[in-house]
Amino acid sequence: MATMTLNDYLQRVQGTLYHQNGEVLSDLISFRDPHVMSSRLMVEKPERDVERCVDPSIAEVIAGHLRAVWAIAERNRVEAWRIQMVVVQAVSRFMTECKEENWMLPVMYTACLDLRLFALGADEDLTKTGAKKPGETLEKAAEALMSCFRVCAADTRTGEDCTKRWGLLYLVNQFFKIYFKINKLNLCKPMIRAIEALSFKDRFSLSQLITYKYYTGRKDMFDSDFKSADATLSFAFQRCHRRSRKNKRRILIYLIPVKMLRGYLPKTSLLERYNLGELSGIVGAVRTGNVRQLSETLVKHEAFFISAGIYLILEKLKVLAFRNLFKKVYLLSGTHQIDVAMFVQSLAWMQVEDVDVEETECILANMINDGRIKGYLSHAHCKLVVSKKDAFPPLTASFC
């Protein structure tokens, strides 16, 4: 394959077109196939040769692909990205011409994936030189993908067997990857609406479903909808193949903070198995109510948490650490009327900066408001009066 001649290649393309073999044709335009290593296919202007051998409906796609192979050989990622944009537009036109058929969907998948990967590379190159703002190439790639999205979404009148709407989930996943990269999560909403409107949304391939659930779970997490985030991320984690350790680890990075906010702490064996040592300090601190350790761990692994985007959610776990600390104070005091000064002392011992009685009352009032403590505060007597039965209900019971 790495020494394939141009004629050989074009004949194969024509053959797949004749037999409507989408999988093989997708390999022939994929940059993960060995044919891209062949020097005989690195042609700067292949249009004439292609038009001679290949059907005109797909000639533009093949010519563009060969030009992109040449551009990659020249190590020009920006040019490859520009050419791939043209290839994707050509693929969407090809799909429009083929009515009531969906055998070419793998071709669309491959072209879109290569476009996103080239856009990432071009973004790096252009940002280094300062020619463009970061994320611009990805935004333009998203616009090109939108043309394919419209073609697939508009195919409503064909039967389920041959509708192009089966390609929507793959495209939506590509959009998610772009929007999360450029930090424009608000653009994900129409995509999610389009998928939820499909009648066969649960019959897509498992890999695509897991990717979809992973990104929607992350989006729910950023929207503070932790119940929904828990459900979707748990689905993704449980259904993900156990050999895909990297993917499982990625899911866990978001699933663990969400679960912790809902009151479920992970075992240390799980954190060790998936190499999540950064989170073990957090889990230990929340479990024991050690606010100081929680703050120190947040500072220590700040870079990791910020790059993963979970720093703010881990800040919210401070409330749980306070709750566990205050429960210990309550158990030590032995009464159901506890002086607020004892809570102030416990916070001062945990080196919480500048804490006073009023701030401690504020934290306690928040816990009562959230249902984490059953009782009330007496400002005049400076005491917390808790219920004699179940003063600190289990964390899993309280809403968040």
Partner 1 sequence: MWVVGSVCCREDVSWALIYQFVFDHLRAVPPVRQDLCVQGIREEGLGVLQAAVRFYVYAQYRTCEHDLCDFDPYLNMKHLAETLSLVITLYRESTKENTAVKSRNICGGEDISSFVQCDTCDRKSDDSDSESDDVNESKITQDAVASEKVNSASKGAPESEGSAGTDMTRNVTEERGKRCESDEGSEGSGSSDPCKNTTTTITVMVESGEGMEEEQEEQQEREQQRREREKKDKEEEQERREREKKDKEEQEKREEQQKREREKKDKEEEQEKRKEQEGKGEDKEEEWQKRERKREKLRCEMLKYSPREEAEALNLLVNFGQAEAIMHVLKLPREIRESRLVWTSLQMNLTWLNNNYHRILRLAPLLPTLCLMAIYYHLTTVQRRALSILSCGHSSRGGLMYSGEDLAASLRFPSITTLLDMKTTRVDWIDERLASTVCRWEIFYFLQVKIYCSGWQGEPTTDSAFSCFINRSEVVPR
- Scanning 47-55, 158-166, 174-182, 379-387 for contacts with partner 1 by CB under 8 A, the matching segment is 379-387
Identified binder of partner 1 from the candidate list 18, 48, 75, 130, rule CB under 8 A = 130
**Beta carbon of residue 287, minimum distance to partner 1 (angstroms, whole number):** 19
Among 239, 358, 387, 390, binds partner 1 (CB under 8 A): 358
Stretches 65-73, 165-173, 241-249, 368-376: which one binds partner 1 (CB under 8 A)?
368-376
- Residue 198 vs residues 103, 162, 163, 169, 201: alpha-carbon distances, Å: 20, 15, 12, 10, 5
Q: Which stretch binds partner 1 (CB under 8 A): 2-10, 85-93, 99-107, 360-368?
A: 360-368
Residue in 97, 100, 315, 390 binding partner 1, rule: CB under 8 A: 315
Choose between 127 and 234: whose C-beta lies nearer to partner 1.
127
Binding mask 80-119 for partner 1 (x = CB under 8 A): ----------------------------------------
Asked if 24 and 16 count as a contact pair (C-beta separation under 8 A), the reply is yes
Q: Which residue among 266, 284, 309, 393 contacts partner 1 (CB under 8 A)?
A: 309
Q: Which is nearer to partner 1, 197 or 303 (CB)?
A: 303
State yes or no: residue 124 binds partner 1 (CB under 8 A): no
What's the min distance (Å) between Cβ of 359 and partner 1? 5
* 244 makes contact with partner 1 (CB under 8 A): no
The least CB distance from residue 385 to partner 1, in Å, is: 8
Minimum distance of partner 1 from residue 363's CB (angstroms): 7
- Which residue lies nearer to partner 1 by CB, 276 or 344? 344
- Is residue 31 part of the contact set for partner 1 (CB under 8 A)? no
* Residue 379 interacts with partner 1 (CB under 8 A): yes or no: yes
Comparison of 124 and 272: residue with beta carbon closer to partner 1: 124
Q: Are 258 and 223 in contact (CB under 8 A)?
A: no
SS3 assignment for the chain: CCCCCHHHHHHHHHHHHHHCCHHHHHHHCCCCCHHHHCHHHCCCCCHHHHHHHCCHHHHHHHHHHHHHHHHHHCCCHHHHHHHHHHHHHHHHHHHHHCCCCCCCHHHHHHHHHHHHHHHHHHHHHHHHHCCCCCCHHHHHHHHHHHHHHHHHHCCCCCCCCCCHHHHHHHHHHHHHHHHHHCCCHHHHHHHHHHHHCCCCHHHCCHHHHHHHHHHHHHHHHHCCCHHHHHHHHHHHHHHCCCCCHHHHHHHHHHHHHHHHHCCCCCCHHHHHHCCCHHHHHHHHHHHHCCHHHHHHHHHHCHHHHHHHCCHHHHHHCHHHHHHHHHHHHHHHHCCCEEEHHHHHHHHHHCCCCCCCHHHHHHHHHHHHHHCCCCEEEECCCCEEEECCCCCCCCCCCCCC
Dist CA 209 CA 189 (whole Å): 17
| Touching partner 1, residues 165-224 (CB under 8 A) | 183, 222
Question: Which of 380, 389, 394, 399 forms a contact with partner 1 (CB under 8 A)?
Answer: 380
For partner 1, which is the closer residue by CB, 1 or 303? 303
Task: Fill in the per-residue mask, 41 to 70: x = in contact with partner 1 (CB under 8 A), - = not in contact.
Answer: ------------------------------
Catalog residues that contact partner 1 under the rule CB under 8 A. Answer: 127-128, 130, 133, 183, 222, 302-303, 306, 309, 311-312, 315-316, 318-319, 354, 358-359, 361-366, 368-369, 376-380, 385
